[in-house]
Structure 1
Amino acid sequence: MNQTLTRIRACTVAVSASLALVTALTGGATAQTQAAAHATTVDVPCSVQKLVRAINTANNSPGADTLRLARKCTYNLTSPDATNPANGLPAITSKITIDGNDATITRQASAPDFRILLVDKTGNLTLNKTTISGGRATDCPGAPTPPFPPGLVCGGGINNQGTLTVNHSRVIDNTATSSVLAEGGGIDSDGTATVNDTDVSNNTAIYTGTTPGSADGGGIANDGPLTLTHSRVTDNTVRVTENSNSQAFGAGHAAFAKTTIDYSTISGNRAEAPGGTAQAGGFATFAKTTIDYSTISGNRAEAPGGIALGALSNGSPDRVKVTDTVIRDNTTSAPGGTALGGGVANNGPMDMTRTRVIDNTATAAGGTARGGGIRNGALGQLTLKRSTVLGNTASARGGIAQGGGIDNPAGGTVTTHQSDISDNTAETPGGGTAQGGGIYHAAGSTGTGSTTLKDSTVTGNTAGDGGGIFNASGTVMLKNTVVKRNNPNNCAPLGSVPGCIG
C-alpha cells in the first residue's frame, strides 16, 4: 500500500513537472510570470502622505513593487498610521522594495509614540539606503498572549514578522520601553531577516517595572533566523530598573534563534542592571550561532551589587562557532557583586578557532571577579583552536579574583589546541585572594570538570598564587604544553597539575 502511494505521488510530481515544462516551452504564462508582469516602480515625492498612499497601493497590487524615495528627503512622521496606530507607516503585507536614495523616515519628537515599520507575516520588505530613526514601540506583535502578559514592547524601529532584508541603511535612535519586557530597541525580528552593510546604533531597550523583568537586544533581537553581514552594531543600550532583580542582556544583539554574523563589528554597547544581572554588553546568544571574521570590542556590562557577564555570552544548547574573530577591550563590572568573563561568558558548547581574546577585564571591587578573558560555566564545553588569550585581567579590590585569562571552576570542560594563554592577570589590590593568572580550574559540584591543554603555551601570567595555573580541585592535563615564566609560580598548589614545574 505504501509503495503504491509513493508511486502515485511520484507520478503526480512528474506530470506536474512535465506540464510546467510544456507551458514554458510553448510560451504559456505561469503564475510567476503573471506576477512579474504586474511588478511596478513608483517614484515617491518628499511627502509622508504620498509615501503612505504608495505603501497602501503596493500592498493591494499583485506582484512585487518598488518605491523609490526622494533623494535625501526626510519623511517626518507626525502621527501614527490610521489603521495600525502602533506603527508610523502602513504595515507591509506584500513584496515591497523601498529604495531610499539616502532618505530618512523618522518619528517627529513631539509625535505620539509609535515604531516606524512593521513587516507583517505576509510581508516581504527590502530596505535599501534608508535611515529609520526615532521610533518608540508600544506593542509586541510577535508575542502570543497568553503565555506572555500584555504590555510587552518589541522593535522600536522595525518589527519583522515576515521577511526583511536591510541593505546599506541605518537604524538609529529608536527605543523599546516597557514595564513588562522590552526587546529589540532598533530591530525585533520574529520572521526571517538579513542585514547587510548597515549601522544599527544608539538604540535602547528599557525595562521600567519594579518586579523582576528584562530588557533584551538594545540594537537587535531575533526570535527568527537572522544573518548580519558587513554591518556595525554600536552604542546601543539595555537598561533595567535598579534593585528590581531584573536582567539586561544583549546590549548590542540578543539572539534567540539561528544567527550568522560575518565581517561585522559589535562595539561600544552597554548593559546596565544595578542590583540585577547584566549579561553580554555586546552579543548574547541562546541558539545555534556562527561568528566569522568579526570584532566584539569596547562593550560594557555593569551590575553594581549584582552579576555582570561577558561581552560575548553563550547560553545556547546548540554549538556556537567563533572563527577568525577579535574579542577585545570589553569590561564586565560588578562592584560589591560578581563579574564573570570580561570577554566571553560561556555556558554551552562553543568552538573558538583562530580567535583573539585580548585586553578584556572582569572587575568587582569588594566582590568576586572571575575570568578576565573567558568564564566557562557548569554547562560550558569550550574548545580553543589556534587561538590567543592575551592581556586580560580579573580584578577585585579587597575581594576574590580568579582566572585572569580563563576561569573554569564549575564543572565545565575546556580544551585548547595550539593556543597561547599569556600575560593575563588575577589581582586584588588592597588585599584579597588572587589565583590563576592564566587559568583557574575547579571540578565543580559534580566533580566532572576538566581542563586539557594540547600543544599550547601558558606564559607570562601573574596572580597572588598559581601565576600560570591554579587547580583548586579536579583534573588539569598538559599534553605537549609549556607552562613557564609565570609569576610568582607556574602552577599551584604544588603537584596539582602533573608535568608542571614550580
Structure 2
Amino acid sequence: MKTLTRPGAVSVVVGVGLSFAVVPAGPAGAAGETHVRCNDVAGLIAAINRANSGGGRITLAPHCTYTLTTRDNADDGLPEITGNVTITGRDTTVRRAPNAAQDFRILHVAPEGRLTVNSLTISGGRLPDFAGGGIWNSGTLKLNRTAVEANRAETSGGIHNVGGQLELAGSTVERNTATLNGGGIHNGRNQLLDRPGRLTMKGGSLLKNRALNDAGGGLENLRSTAHLASVTVKGNTAPRGGGINQFAGTLRLKSTTLSGNIAVTGGGLRNSFSTASLVRSSVTRNTAITAGGGIFNENSSSVTLDAGRVVRNSPDNCSPEGSVPGCTNPTGTGTPQNSASPSKGGKGRK
C-alpha cells in the first residue's frame, strides 16, 4: 500500500470585497450565499474563492451538470477549500470533462479548510499518478446525500482522507478505481501533521469500487479510525480486503452489511494488526480465492462479533480457523496456515 501526503496546500483566495455584482455567478440570496448559474464554471470558481476568504454558502442550479475542462491548480479542477464553505445542489453534478486534456481531481480540502457538500454528484476525476481521484481531504469534509462515483487515481479512487475528518451521511461511493489501494475511500494518517484520519459514515453505501493491485476495494483504513453505521458494502474487489482492508487501525461496524465482495484473501474484511468490532452487522456471500471469504484476521488482530453474523462466505467464513470468536466454518472447509497473501504488483505491502 502507498500512503501519500501532499507536502503543502496551494491556497487560492481572490479579493475580500462584498459586492456580488463583481462575481459572474448569478444573483445573490441571503447574506453569505451565492447562486451559480447552470454550468457557469467561472462563476463557481469565483464563488469558492470568495467563500474561502470569509466563509459562505454556494447554491448550484438543480438538475444541472457543471463540466470542468481545465484544472484550477496543479491537481484540482476547483480551487482548494481553505475556508468554511458549503456547496449545495439538487440532482446536480460536478464532473471532469471526459475529453479534458489534463488530469485532475474535482475537490481538495486543505488542512485548515471546512467543506460541506449537499446533494451533489462528484464524478470523472482522474489522477493516474497521484491520490484522490474525486476528492482529497486533509481538513473537515461532510458529504450529505452526495455521490462520489466513477473517479480514478493511483491511490484512493474516490476519496483520499489523510489526517482529515470525513463524515458521510446518506451518501454513496460507487464505481471508483484505484490502481493500487483504496478503491472507494482511503482513510489514513497525515504523516506531516502526525494526525490520523477519522471516518464516520451513516447510511449510504460503498458499491462496486476496485483496488486493482493492492488492498481495500471499498475502504482502506490505514493507521486510523473508521465507524460505519447502517452502511452497505457490496460488490467491491481487491487482491486483499475486497470490501474493507484495515492495517493498524480501529474499525466499528454497526448494523452494516458486507456482501458480494471479492478478494484473494479477505473477501469481506481483511484485518491486520488491527481491532474490529461488528455490532448487529452481517458478513455474507463474500468470496476469497484462497482464504478468509468473510474475514481474514491476521497478525495479532482482534475481531469482536456482537450479535453479528458471518455466514455463507466462500471458501470459508473466517481464516485462520478460530481467529474470530463465534465465527465457524462449514464442515470440511480448510484454512491455510500461511497468512501471507499474494500481491499483484503493488508498490508496497502492509
**Smaller-chain TM-score bracket:** 0.7 to 0.9
Secondary structure in 2 aligned to 1:269? coil
* Residue in structure 2 matched with residue 92 of structure 1 by the alignment: 81
* Residue in structure 2 matched with residue 361 of structure 1 by the alignment: 314
- Counterpart CA distance in 2 for 1:316 and 1:100 is 41
1:155 aligns to 2:121 (yes or no): no
Question: Which amino acid in the other structure matches residue 277 of structure 2?
Answer: K
Question: Which amino acid in the other structure matches residue 234 of structure 1?
Answer: L
Structure possessing the higher radius of gyration over alpha carbons: 1
TM-score by length of 1: 0.56
* Residue in structure 1 matched with residue 244 of structure 2 by the alignment: 283
- Counterpart CA distance in 2 for 1:393 and 1:220 is 36
Q: 1:313 aligns with which of 247, 267, 270?
A: 270
- Counterpart CA distance in 1 for 2:43 and 2:314 is 52
Q: Deviations over 1:135-189 (max 9, x none)?
A: 0125xxxxxxxxxxxx5x2110000011000010100000003xxxxx2100010
| Consecutive unaligned residues in structure 2, runs of 5 or more | 1-29, 189-196, 340-350
Q: Deviations over 1:420-442 (max 9, x none)?
A: xxxxxxxxxxxxxxxxxxxxxxx
User: What is the CA distance between 1:353 and its match in structure 2?
Assistant: 1.4
1:56 aligns to 2:49 (yes or no): yes
Q: How do 1:168-317 and structure 2 match up within 5 A?
A: 168-177=145-154, 183-190=155-162, 191-206=164-179, 215-223=180-188, 224-240=197-213, 248-256=214-222, 257-271=224-238, 278-286=239-247, 287-302=249-264, 308-317=265-274
User: What is the CA distance between 1:85 and its match in structure 2?
Assistant: 2.6
Secondary structure in 2 aligned to 1:361? coil
* Residue in structure 1 matched with residue 64 of structure 2 by the alignment: 73
Question: Which amino acid in the other structure matches residue 325 of structure 2?
Answer: T
Query: Is contact 1:68-1:101 (8 Å) kept?
Result: no
User: What is the CA distance between 1:309 and its match in structure 2?
Assistant: 3.2
User: What is the CA distance between 1:359 and its match in structure 2?
Assistant: 1.3
Q: How do 1:93-132 and structure 2 match up within 5 A?
A: 93-111=82-100, 112-132=102-122
Name the CA shift for 1:389/1:354 in 2 (closer, same or farther; >3 Å).
farther
- Counterpart CA distance in 2 for 1:324 and 1:359 is 17
Question: Which amino acid in the other structure matches residue 293 of structure 2?
Answer: G
Q: Deviations over 1:25-81 (max 9, x none)?
A: xxxxxxxxxxxxx96111111111110111111112x2x311010011100011111
User: What is the CA distance between 1:249 and its match in structure 2?
Assistant: 0.8
Name the CA shift for 1:230/1:195 in 2 (closer, same or farther; >3 Å).
same
- Counterpart CA distance in 1 for 2:293 and 2:220 is 18
Structure with higher RCO (Cα < 8 A, 6+ apart): 2
- Counterpart CA distance in 2 for 1:410 and 1:106 is 44
User: What is the CA distance between 1:376 and its match in structure 2?
Assistant: 3.0
- Counterpart CA distance in 1 for 2:168 and 2:328 is 30
| Consecutive unaligned residues in structure 1, runs of 5 or more | 1-37, 139-150, 178-182, 207-214, 241-247, 272-277, 303-307, 334-338, 363-371, 395-401, 412-502
TM-score by length of 2: 0.80
Secondary structure in 2 aligned to 1:216? coil
- Counterpart CA distance in 1 for 2:108 and 2:170 is 21
Name the CA shift for 1:375/1:187 in 2 (closer, same or farther; >3 Å).
same
Percent of matched pairs sharing the same residue: 35
RMSD: 2.1
Q: Deviations over 1:203-226 (max 9, x none)?
A: 0001xxxxxxxx111000111111
- Counterpart CA distance in 1 for 2:331 and 2:138 is 41
Secondary structure in 1 aligned to 2:324? strand
Q: 2:295 aligns with which of 311, 321, 344?
A: 344
Name the CA shift for 1:230/1:390 in 2 (closer, same or farther; >3 Å).
farther
User: What is the CA distance between 1:410 and its match in structure 2?
Assistant: 7.3
Secondary structure in 2 aligned to 1:176? strand
Q: Deviations over 1:357-394 (max 9, x none)?
A: 111113xxxxxxxxx110038xx86333xxx6476984
- Counterpart CA distance in 1 for 2:185 and 2:110 is 18
Give the number of aligned pairs: 295
Deviates more, 1:129-138 or 1:291-300: 129-138
Question: Which amino acid in the other structure matches residue 147 of structure 2?
Answer: R
Query: Is contact 1:137-1:154 (8 Å) kept?
Result: yes
Q: Deviations over 1:94-133 (max 9, x none)?
A: 0001112221000001102100000011110000000000
Query: Is contact 1:235-1:269 (8 Å) kept?
Result: yes
Name the CA shift for 1:389/1:231 in 2 (closer, same or farther; >3 Å).
farther
Q: 2:287 aligns with which of 331, 335, 354?
A: 331
